[in-house]
């Protein structure tokens, strides 16, 4: 585009109106040679408006040529009603004028682009074109594979493609697309030889004069327009010229609308098709080299062995857990620790109520004193029988007293090891009764942990003792911990609807903030496998099992 044309287009966009540049003596940047004659010229540009938005583009400036052919084209187009929704048919019925033709094409383009989608734009265009060309009917069809689908018929919001008339119209459109040129019927004497079988059938049915033209974008046909006039006489040459002009302008716009409304799947297929065409092009070896390099890289990435790791949820537990149970029936009197507290061996954890035991102790102390007095009195009287009886009762009282004293000592539960309380919050249950054997407190030794990994049954065959791996905890996912597998439990458990096996592992290094009960994701190194095997082995195993279950 020349500098004057660019300036006219920018002015049309900025001022939101038609720009008409007066005649000049040639373009400033193209100096004529000695053999050329300077000629006056006129440039016309009109803004393109999409819907109700402000103009964002303008039609290319049209070089009108000799100003003597149109002394004041903008006034003549304005008189015809361009841009104000007036009847455009009045323009085409006048003498041929490049300004009017350009204005009509721009107006019809604007009618097509103003609508929100392809179907609405096609219907609006066919209605307007039928009015401009004084047609009985205008039909627009687009290419879908090997067929031509009718998408709009003028003055018909709904139509049935299965109707015989629509099939004949589609055949006529297909005939124009196959020949890639305009086809008229009845055939005009000056027209070149065309195949008009489908047009003849449609003319015989409707009695209309026909003219169809293919819509081309990028050297390929994307659709066709078919215009029908009442009567059997061929249409005027001026109307056919405008139909050709509109077809040239509509082809690229129709292709862009089709691409914009195409689903993502179709776009992907189109990209693959274009890539294949580029690869199979003989003149350019670059796409072939790039495709071969990409294929080799993809095959190498898929089939070369890589590290295979089995992922499964894992949790931290203490290496040894000590349960502090109730030694006798009683009531909670005091709880000195809660889960998370660190304790040392000998610390008092829980105290039970001892009032009843104290009373029992005093009773047996009194009984023991009484029996010892009876023993001494019998000895003084030399009453051998009473001496033996008192001695036996004193021994029984002494044993019961020792039992009570031991029970009193067990009312204060002590920590057997240094560790951390991981279970047993008794602070909210003071005074509650407890029975002998009830678990009250659970301790885990400090700085000694083990890892429990719940491996899915589909992966357990690849897990062996001695394998190493890494654990990423939810509390510190960026600082993985290394571990080594020590034992695979041969008993399966059900968790979250899946059959899993517990794998016990030992942490190689403990983190400073490691606590029993932390959870994360563990990955066990299980050797090397190809990427293709890693991606497909579960599906293949499922298919094998299904075929085995369905088989005889």
Q: Is the pLDDT of residue 22 over 80?
A: no
Q: Is the pLDDT of residue 313 over 80?
A: yes
pLDDT class of 67 with cuts at 50, 70, 90:
very low
Q: Average pLDDT for residues 457-475, to the nearest whole number?
A: 91
Between 4 and 423, the more confident residue is 423
Q: Is the pLDDT of residue 87 over 70?
A: no
Other C-beta atoms closer than 10 Å to the C-beta of 500 total 20
Q: Average pLDDT for residues 421-447, to the nearest whole number?
A: 83
Other C-beta atoms closer than 10 Å to the C-beta of 321 total 14
pLDDT class of 15 with cuts at 50, 70, 90:
low
pLDDT attached to residue 6: 61
Q: Is the pLDDT of residue 344 over 90?
A: no
Q: Average pLDDT for residues 88-110, to the nearest whole number?
A: 60
Q: Residue 515: which residues within 8 A CB-CB, separation 6 or more? A: 316, 340, 420
Q: Mean pLDDT for the chain?
A: 77
Q: Average pLDDT for residues 384-394, to the nearest whole number?
A: 83
Q: Is the pLDDT of residue 235 over 80?
A: no
pLDDT attached to residue 66: 44
Q: Is the pLDDT of residue 253 over 60?
A: yes
Between 264 and 452, the more confident residue is 452
pLDDT attached to residue 317: 83
Query: Sign of the CA dihedral 92, 234, 200, 252?
Result: negative
Query: How far is the C-alpha of 12 from the C-alpha of 19, rounded, in Å?
Result: 6
pLDDT attached to residue 472: 92
pLDDT class of 97 with cuts at 50, 70, 90:
low
Lowest mean pLDDT among 69-73, 351-355, 434-438, 482-486: 69-73
pLDDT attached to residue 454: 92
Q: Is the pLDDT of residue 74 over 60?
A: no
Between 427 and 200, the more confident residue is 200
- Residue-by-residue DSSP string for 165-188: HHHHHHHHHHHHHHHTS-EEESPP
pLDDT attached to residue 7: 57
pLDDT attached to residue 258: 78
- Residue-by-residue DSSP string for 197-213: HHHHHHHHHH-EEEEEE
pLDDT attached to residue 45: 65
Query: How far is the C-alpha of 508 from the C-alpha of 513, rounded, in Å?
Result: 15
pLDDT attached to residue 484: 93
pLDDT attached to residue 505: 92
Provide the percentage of residues in the chain whose pLDDT is more than 70: 80
Q: Average pLDDT for residues 424-442, to the nearest whole number?
A: 84
Query: How far is the C-alpha of 107 from the C-alpha of 112, rounded, in Å?
Result: 9
Q: Average pLDDT for residues 341-368, to the nearest whole number?
A: 86
pLDDT class of 522 with cuts at 50, 70, 90:
very high
pLDDT attached to residue 71: 38
Q: Average pLDDT for residues 28-35, to the nearest whole number?
A: 41
Q: Is the pLDDT of residue 82 over 80?
A: no
pLDDT class of 504 with cuts at 50, 70, 90:
very high
∠ CA 407-413-417, rounded to 5°: 135
pLDDT attached to residue 80: 36
Q: Is the pLDDT of residue 188 over 50?
A: yes
pLDDT class of 85 with cuts at 50, 70, 90:
very low
Lowest mean pLDDT among 166-170, 191-195, 334-338: 191-195
Packing angle, helices 237-260 and 118-132, rounded to 10: 170
Residues 132-149 pLDDT 10s: 888 888 999 888 877 888
pLDDT attached to residue 530: 86
Q: Which of 217, 12, 210 is nearest to 110 (CA)?
A: 12
pLDDT attached to residue 521: 94
Q: Is the pLDDT of residue 64 over 70?
A: no
Q: Is the pLDDT of residue 520 over 90?
A: yes
- Chain centroid to Cα 311, Å, comes to 24
């Amino acid at each position: 585009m020349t500098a004057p044309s660019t300036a006219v287009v920018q002015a049309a966009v900025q001022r939101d109106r038609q720009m008409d540049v007066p005649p000049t003596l040639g373009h400033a940047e193209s100096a004529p040679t000695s053999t050329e004659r300077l000629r006056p010229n006129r440039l016309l540009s009109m803004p393109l408006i999409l819907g109700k938005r402000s103009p964002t583009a303008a039609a290319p400036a049209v070089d009108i040529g000799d100003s003597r052919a149109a002394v004041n084209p903008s006034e003549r187009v304005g008189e015809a009603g361009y841009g104000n929704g007036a009847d455009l048919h009045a323009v085409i019925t006048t003498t041929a004028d490049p300004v009017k033709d350009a204005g009509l094409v721009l107006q019809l383009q604007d009618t097509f682009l103003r609508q929100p989608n392809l179907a609405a734009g096609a219907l609006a265009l066919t209605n307007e074109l039928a009015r401009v060309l004084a047609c009985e009917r205008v039909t627009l069809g687009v290419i879908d594979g090997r067929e031509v689908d009718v998408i709009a018929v003028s003055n018909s919001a709904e139509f049935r493609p299965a109707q015989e008339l629509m099939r004949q119209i589609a055949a006529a459109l297909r005939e124009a697309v196959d020949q890639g040129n305009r086809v008229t019927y009845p055939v005009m004497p000056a027209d070149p030889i065309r195949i008009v079988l489908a047009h003849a059938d449609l003319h015989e049915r409707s009695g209309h004069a026909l003219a169809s033209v293919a819509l081309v974008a990028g050297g390929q046909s994307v659709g066709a327009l078919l215009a029908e006039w009442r009567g059997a006489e061929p249409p005027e040459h001026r109307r056919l010229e405008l139909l050709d002009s509109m077809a040239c302008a509509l082809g690229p716009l129709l292709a862009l609308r089709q691409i914009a409304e195409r689903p993502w799947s179709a776009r992907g297929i189109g990209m693959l098709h274009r890539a294949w065409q580029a690869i199979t092009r003989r003149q350019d070896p670059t796409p072939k080299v790039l495709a071969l390099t990409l294929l080799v890289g993809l095959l190498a990435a898929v089939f070369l062995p890589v590290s295979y790791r089995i992922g499964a949820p894992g949790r931290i537990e203490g290496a040894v857990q000590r349960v502090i149970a109730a030694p006798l029936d009683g009531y909670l009197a005091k709880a000195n620790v809660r889960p998370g507290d660190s304790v040392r061996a000998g610390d008092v954890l829980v105290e039970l109520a001892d009032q009843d035991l104290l009373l029992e102790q005093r009773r047996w102390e009194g009984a023991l004193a009484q029996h010892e007095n009876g023993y001494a009195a019998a000895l003084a009287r030399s009453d051998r029988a009473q001496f033996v009886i008192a001695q036996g009762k004193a021994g029984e009282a002494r044993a019961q007293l020792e039992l009570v004293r031991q029970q009193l000592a067990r009312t204060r539960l002590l920590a057997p090891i240094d560790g951390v309380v991981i279970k047993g919050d008794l602070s909210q249950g003071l005074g509650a009764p407890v029975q002998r054997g009830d678990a009250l407190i659970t301790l885990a030794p400090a700085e000694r942990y083990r890892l429990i990994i719940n491996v899915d049954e589909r992966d357990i065959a690849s897990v062996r003792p001695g394998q190493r791996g890494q654990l990423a905890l939810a509390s510190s996912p960026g600082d993985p911990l290394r571990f080594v597998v020590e034992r695979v439990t041969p008993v399966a458990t059900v968790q979250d609807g899946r059959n899993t096996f517990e794998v016990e592992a030992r942490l190689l290094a403990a983190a400073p903030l490691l606590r029993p009960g932390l959870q994360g994701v563990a990955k066990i190194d299980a050797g090397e496998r190809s990427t293709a095997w890693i991606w497909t082995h579960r599906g293949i195993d499922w298919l094998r099992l299904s075929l085995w279950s369905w088989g005889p």
